[in-house]
Amino acid sequence: MAAILLCFLLAAAVLLVTSSPIHDSDNGTVPLVLWHGMGDSCCNPLSMGYIKKMIEQEIPGVYVLSVMIGKNIVEDTENGFFSDVNEQVSMVCNQLAQDPKLKGGYNAMGFSQGAQFLRAVAQRCPSPPMKNLISVGGQHQGVYGLPRCPGESSKICDMIREALNKEAYLGWFQKHLVQAQYWHDPLNDDLYKKYSRFLADINQERAVNETYKKNLQQLEKFVMVKFLQDSVVDPVDTEWFGFLKTGQAKETETLQESVLYKEDRLGLAAMDKAGKLVFLATEGDHLQFKEEWFKANLLPYLH
């Protein structure tokens, strides 16, 4: 089991880029908060550091905060694997609330798992207010598959899923293994709803928290980016808030086909009808996109 988990953790791709009031009173820009993905850190010069620098160059004077979970880059990277996600979200909420540059509001951009963590911030911590949330390859309905697993029909994939699922909902894993905290097993829906400490809560699986719903609907735009050749996230539909249909592990459903949407348990249907949901797709594997695409498609939501 340890070997399976190690493969799961090490297979994640690192972000690859190829070649403030809701307006800050000083220069008219909107502050930006970034949250990195698994295996990355706040300040990696090849990933988040590069993105931060690029945005600062494109939007002169903008304040960009790339959150660090821990006291240094090493801890930040480790906490992307082994930590309590709910505690991470609480820590970031406190950090944002204490930052005077964010008191008037901010935009947020999360990469991979950082996207669903920032959504939790939007739902749980409305002050300071989040304006736009941009999810770059986020897994909003969780994952139920291993990175680069050789096909949905492979028996070995099913065996690994079954083994991980048995461990993922145990207390230690739900408290300390980050990826287990957004593991979503469609074959054991009751188990997922009962024991998932993070994902089932923010997705209103056990009960409808009206505060979560109200807070999320305060967003002006919720932008979700899907990578069309993603070999890391399974199923890739989760990047657009879709997932596998309950009770099996082959057929998927869109957000609009889900109970979450039809019952509007999180306010996403209302947001969709109001034009607040934006679904973008790009060619490439997980978190791999061209700088030109980023500037043309995502920068407009940061102004």
Which one, of 211, 213, 172, 212, lies nearest residue 195 by Cα? Answer: 172
Please check whether residue 283 is in contact with residue 229, taking contact to mean a CB–CB distance below 8 angstroms.
yes
8-state DSSP, 141: T
**Marked catalytic residue, from 230, 234, 237, 272:** 230
Long-range contacts: 165-170, Cβ < 8 Å, 24+?
165/191, 167/1, 167/5, 169/194, 169/195, 169/196
Q: Are 251 and 150 in contact (CB under 8 A)?
A: no
Quote the radius of gyration of the chain (alpha carbons, Å): 18
- Give the active site residue among 112, 135, 196, 258: 112
36 is catalytic: no
Please say if 112 is a catalytic residue: yes
- Within a 10 A sphere around the Cβ of 274, how many other Cβ atoms? 11
Sequence length of the chain is 303
Q: At 289, is the secondary structure helix, strand, or coil?
A: strand
Q: Are 285 and 227 in contact (CB under 8 A)?
A: yes
Nearest to 301 by CA among 280, 284, 274, 287: 280
Burial class (CB in 10 A: 0-12, 13-18, 19+), 104: middle
How crowded is residue 255: how many other Cβ atoms within 10 Å of its Cβ?
21
Tell me if residue 185 is catalytic: no
* Phi and psi, residue 169, nearest 5°: -95, 5
Q: Hey, which residues are catalytic here? A: 112, 230, 286
